[in-house]
Structure 1
Amino acid sequence: MSTKHLFAALVAAVGVSTTMAQEATPDVWTKFNDASLLSSRSRAEVLAELEIYRRSGLAELERGDATDPFSHQHRVASARYAAMRSSPEFASLVQTIAQRRGETADVATLATTR
């Protein structure tokens, strides 16, 4: 390949890469400040769900690539998770975590009624 062809290819590559770049203008930033993107759950509720996910045994069963959601163990753990998620124990756990984190009790109470 001659130097002329190499230079032309380099100019074309640089031209294409600068054409595809987009400036981050304020109208692009505001698109991501949409209220619909905000979480509907409190941090306490998310942490409580993680805790019961671990306690139910699902975390251990879903560790790795070979998860079998149809296995007897997985179905039992899923049922245990669902029962724990809908129990008063879950609401209590959310309250405890919220208090530990300094969140208001009202936020934790609202989160458990979903």
Structure 2
Amino acid sequence: MNPETLSALGEPNRFRIVELLRTGPRSVNDIRGRLGLRQSQVSQHLTVLKAVGLVEAEPHAQQRLYKLRAQPVKQLHKWIDRYRCIWEERFEQMDELVEEMTRKEKSDAAGRK
């Protein structure tokens, strides 16, 4: 996973565009209307997303339809999965610690009665 991809997705409007494109190809005007952005903003964001390889454009009549590219999205998913295991393990450890602290508090409270 290259850092440019993560950087591109770190910008909220680009992330929103990627989320919107998950449902299928869209034109700049469609994206503009759905996200409430100016046409120039959408074009700039799409240029960045295209540069990092997340989207591609296909000519369709008088406009270009932008769609997600499967391979970079799969790479991102694989990269996230590598860390998901670590996060889940740490959350389990944290759950165990919270349970232990709760038991200790209950035990301490019962001993004071």
Q: In which range does the TM-score fall when normalised by the shorter chain?
A: under 0.3
* CA radius of gyration, larger in: 1
Q: Which has the higher contact order (CA 8 A, sep 6+)?
A: 1
TM-score scaled by length of structure 1: 0.25
Choose between structure 1 and 2: higher strand proportion: 2
TM-score scaled by length of structure 2: 0.25
